[in-house]
């Protein structure tokens, strides 16, 4: 079955860290760039970060740059998001997402989403 399964979410205090994981199955993981997209309660979808198939290029939204680090282990079909210095506004459902891109200069659209893992940042 083609799927993405996230884990690692939970309740954490402001300023602390959390590491999210995502395991992929049913497709050739190392053929694709992977992304994290989040949705805060009652708010819009927000792209967070992406990593190319070979980890050669990463990118972050301004809201998380310098605090979050994306990585992957193709031998384990796994994607990670290390989140440091967490803030209340990072509270969200975090989705692991598979990206599709045709042109090397363009962005990605997203054809496979996990069910998400909930991160709650609160004192």
Q: What residues make contact with another protein under the rule CB under 8 A?
A: 44-47, 59, 61, 95, 100-103, 105-111, 113-116
CB atoms within 10 A of CB 103: 6
| CA–CA separation, 12 and 72 (whole Å) | 23
Separation between Cα atoms, residue 111 and residue 25, nearest integer Å: 14
Do 45 and 92 contact (CB within 8 A), yes or no?
Answer: no
Q: Closer to another protein by CB, 75 or 106: give it.
A: 106
Cβ at position 46, least distance to another protein in Å: 7
- What minimum distance in Å lies between the beta carbon of 95 and another protein? 6
CB 65 to another protein: min, Å: 12
User: Closest CB to another protein among 16 and 43?
Assistant: 43
Rank residues 41 and 123 by Cβ distance to another protein and give the closer one: 41
Cα(36)–Cα(47) distance, rounded to whole angstroms?
6
């Amino acid at each position: 079955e083609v799927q993405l399964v996230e884990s690692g979410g939970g309740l954490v205090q402001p300023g602390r860290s959390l590491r999210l994981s995502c395991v992929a199955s049913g497709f050739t993981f190392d053929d694709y760039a992977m992304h994290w997209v989040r949705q805060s309660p009652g708010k819009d979808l927000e792209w967070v970060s992406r990593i190319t198939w070979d980890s050669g290029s990463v990118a972050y939204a301004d809201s998380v740059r310098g605090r979050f680090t994306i990585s992957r282990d193709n031998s384990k079909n796994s994607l990670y998001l290390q989140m440091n210095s967490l803030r209340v506004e990072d509270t969200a459902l975090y989705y692991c997402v598979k990206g599709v891109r045709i042109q090397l200069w363009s962005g990605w659209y997203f054809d496979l989403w996990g069910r998400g893992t909930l991160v709650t940042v609160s004192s």
